[in-house]
Structure 1
Amino acid sequence: MKTKIAVIGAGSWGTALAKVLEENGHEPILYSNVEEQIKEINEQHTNKTFLPELVISKNIKGTTDLKEALEDAQVVLFVVPTKVTRMVAKQVAELLTDKVILVTASKGLEQQTHKRISTILEEEIPENKRAGVVALSGPSHAEEVAVNDLTTITAASSDMDAAEKIQQLFMNDYMRIYTNKDIVGVEYGAALKNIIALGAGALAGLGYGDNAKAALITRGLAEISRLGIAFGADPLTFIGLSGVGDLIVTCTSIHSRNWQAGNMIGKGHSLDEVLGSMGMVVEGASTVVAAYELAREKNIEMPITEAIYDVLYNNADVRETIVALMNRDPKSEAHSKD
């Protein structure tokens, strides 16, 4: 049965997911407040700023009218930067007339509140307007999904009916979806891996090799797990798709904006220079602030996160920071807290 899905956010990931939904026989509509972008999608059937090689199906319509996007939609898919999620959710709440499944495909933690995106949606969209909240996450580059490369991700929710409906919407012969009840762990894994990806990019920019990258990913995963578990996540989630899977793909690919940003920092560019040149959101740059503050609040040792925070916001020298990390007091890997 054809389902209408309002895709809120017409960046690379929103566009790629709309493509999957259309190919599965559904009716996605892309919403953006950028008139030139929507005109291009509707008239040229391209979105060259975000996915320059993709030809968008004529069945995928774009709109700058949020009310039009939401009308008769059964699912609302949020693919906007974390920093605007609350504002957009308020707008959606005002316009919704029926219950819909809310899906977040963004990865981050809100500044100041440090809240997960699903929590923001629950706070801003009344219970009588939502039929479940699902986090769609895992190792997935929009550039590869857009060309039907094999991809496996997770639909996580405390409401398994909602998770299974999203699973069915997206499943096909190149996109496989697993369900997971641990939305807390899935969202923390999704958000925090962007921090480690910044570090991986910086290592590459400095000329370090695979040994250093493997060490960073492994010890980074330990930090992600410690923080997530402190907030109620299932430890097993972090050895799954939205944990180690997403961490690997984000820390090893040039498609990753966070890796690209870290690479530029490793080569000597300032954070302001990097963010000014990227043209797209680098979620790790803001998530590291939230994670740093949460770790201090919970008294959780996160030396890699703290080091990346110091480089980005305290002007710490990258090479000196790496040396300091390597020269910390000796520890046992088993049950290590840092």
Structure 2
Amino acid sequence: MNVSVLGCGRWGTFIAWYVNKAGHDVTLWGRQGSKNLQVLMDSRKNDYLTLPDEIELSHSLENAVTSAEVIIISISAQQLRSFAKQLSQLNEIEGKTFILCMKGLEADSGKRLTQVFSEELGKSTNVAVWVGPGHVQDFVNHIPNCMVISSENIEITKKIVQAFNSDLIRFYYGQDLIGNEIGAATKNVMGIAAGMLDGLNYSSLKGSLMARGTREISRLVRAMGGNDLTIYGLSHLGDYEATLFSLHSHNRKFGQMFVQGEDFGKLAEGVSTVKALKELSAQYHVELPISDAIYEILFENKDAKKTLEDLILRPVKFEF
């Protein structure tokens, strides 16, 4: 199968490496002038892995899209709408399968990424998401994990899983696109919260964060029409180890450095997701106390220690 991966950051480059390892012909695309692409063209390496010679590197979006049957997109979630507009101008995108390999929500609207993508390319587009736990650093050291493919068309889901399954990543069929997308995006917010607890030397409270965080997001998923049990699967709770505890997690590290007054300097997708959750909380009339607390700390200059203590020590109530 011919596969193109659009986006040559840490995750996109790994996906290209992995899909090639799974036996497919791969083109990895980066924007003209991309530093990441230039480094790969010069050395076939980045900080995490070495690309095999048979992976084609390209900055021609048209060539990458027209030559592939399956197109995997791995870019910042907030750039997806403008990028999808760009894709919609290309010829020969009918009948192709697109997989969104990113975790986020559109900050201003709260929309899921498949909604954003379908609005720009049309509802008939075959679009799926690839979500769940795993770090590049572990995968390239042959440490396996489980992930999820989800779409609104079970045949598309099955086709992708069968094509990409391996001993390194065991894929599950996702049956609830809403729950899987919301779950994958919001675990980054919980990651920021966990990092803040680490930075305040309150790491022992991460167990409480896990318990209450899943309940909070499951209520939102149910209100949006998804299955609230999905939050307890791989896309959300299953990703907590990689997000709330791992030293590799960008979102956890961002939260830790934020409360310590330091600049993280890399993308933490959970920051934009917090804004989106503010919008969804209002749209669906669902209380999201943890998300609200992180929003207040990040955007309203509330004191992190007091805000998180007040959150944990809320008035006594029944647990369920």
Shorter-chain TM-score range: over 0.9
After superposition, the C-alpha distances for 1:25-78 in whole angstroms (9 at most, x for unaligned) are 10121111134432332331112xxxx141111111221110111122111111
2:181 aligned residue (183, 187, 196) = 187
Q: Residue type of the partner of 1:46?
A: K
2:60 aligned residue (62, 65, 69) = 65
1:249 aligned residue (242, 246, 249) = 242
- The residue aligned with 1:313 is 299
1:241 is paired with a residue whose SS is coil
After superposition, the C-alpha distances for 1:224-267 in whole angstroms (9 at most, x for unaligned) are 11111111111221111112101332111111100010010121
After superposition, the C-alpha distances for 1:93-131 in whole angstroms (9 at most, x for unaligned) are 221414111111111110222111111111111356x3x
- The residue aligned with 2:289 is 303
Aligned partners of 1:295 and 1:301 also within 8 Å? yes
1:237 aligned residue (206, 230, 243) = 230
CA distance in 1: counterparts of 2:313 and 2:207, whole angstroms: 18
The answer to whether 1:155 aligns with 2:141 is no
2:147 is paired with a residue whose SS is strand
Structure 2 unmatched runs, 5+: none
Structure 1 unmatched runs, 5+: none
CA distance in 1: counterparts of 2:209 and 2:160, whole angstroms: 33
- The residue aligned with 1:110 is 106
User: Once the 2 structures are TM-superposed, how far is the Cα of residue 148 of structure 1 from its aligned partner?
Assistant: 2.6
Q: 319-328 vs 285-294, which deviates more? A: 319-328
The answer to whether 1:224 aligns with 2:217 is yes
User: Once the 2 structures are TM-superposed, how far is the Cα of residue 305 of structure 1 from its aligned partner?
Assistant: 0.7
TM-score by length of 1: 0.90
Q: Percent identity, please.
A: 33
Aligned partners of 1:42 and 1:61 also within 8 Å? no
Q: Residue type of the partner of 1:12?
A: R
After superposition, the C-alpha distances for 1:148-192 in whole angstroms (9 at most, x for unaligned) are 320110000110111111112221111100111211100000011
Residue pairs, 1:1-338, within 5 angstroms:
3-33=1-31, 34-47=33-46, 52-97=47-92, 98-127=94-123, 130=125, 132-210=126-204, 212-269=205-262, 273-274=263-264, 277-278=265-266, 281-334=267-320
Give the aligned length: 318
User: Once the 2 structures are TM-superposed, how far is the Cα of residue 81 of structure 1 from its aligned partner?
Assistant: 0.6
Flag the 1:105–1:35 CA change in 2: closer, same or farther, 3 A: closer
Q: Residue type of the partner of 2:189?
A: I
Q: 307-316 vs 295-304, which deviates more? A: 295-304
Aligned partners of 2:186 and 2:236 also within 8 Å? no
Aligned partners of 1:41 and 1:61 also within 8 Å? no
2:104 is paired with a residue whose SS is coil
